[in-house]
Amino acid sequence: MFRKLHVPRFVRDYALVAFIAMLVVGWFARRPAAPVFDGDAPPIHLTGTDGQTFDLAQHIGQPVLLVFWAEWCGVCQTQVKDLNRLHADRADVAILGIAVDSGDNDAVKIHARKHGIDFPVAATVPGVTKDYQVSALPTNIFIDAQGNVTDAVVGALNYAGFQQRL
């Protein structure tokens, strides 16, 4: 009653390749884009867990690395060791970890200690993640000595990746 339809092998192979290509393109299309800045970094004024004030304007003359992270972000934790090393090796670079959705400074201080973070950290305040276009974590923002954003990377970096961008 039903006849089996014969489909040439090359048609099936091309269909399979097209399907896989569509999946790959779809996967990369979903990846959050890195923030794009035109010149000056947005102002930022936060109080760290150590009680020290971090004002971006006070760091003109030195490179700055802003690391947006969260306590619950496993990928964020993979770059902590390299950030600690960078903090120890590069005293000329101001590093600030900005905790997103991780509580107030008291909670962030506990999280930082738990994850072995040695560089300064602060809980974010409303508007900072919007100003820096943070759509995924971690987001690493590189600011030059003149206060211009030179690069932004969504995703974890290693020591060499940080050094290359500074």
Structural domains of the chain, ranges and CATH numbers in brackets: 45-165 (3.40.30.10)
Which band of pLDDT confidence, cut at 50, 70 and 90, is reported for residue 2? low
d(CA 128, CA 140): 14
d(CA 166, CA 161): 9
Residues 39-90: tens digit of each pLDDT = 899 999 999 999 999 999 999 999 999 999 999 999 999 999 999 999 999 9
How big is the CA angle at 123 (ends 118 and 129), to the nearest 5 degrees? 115
Please give the structure tokens belonging to residue 53.
């004030």
Predicted pLDDT at 30: 56
Which of these, 83, 85, 87, lies nearest to 68 by C-alpha position? Answer: 83
Which of these, 60, 19, 30, 35, lies nearest to 131 by C-alpha position? Answer: 35
Residue 28 pLDDT > 70: no
Residues 94-126: tens digit of each pLDDT = 999 999 999 999 999 999 999 999 999 999 999
For residue 16, count CB atoms less than 10 angstroms from its CB and return exposed for 0-12, middle for 13-18, buried for 19 or more: exposed
Residue 14 pLDDT > 70: yes
Residue 130 pLDDT > 60: yes
Predicted pLDDT at 1: 58
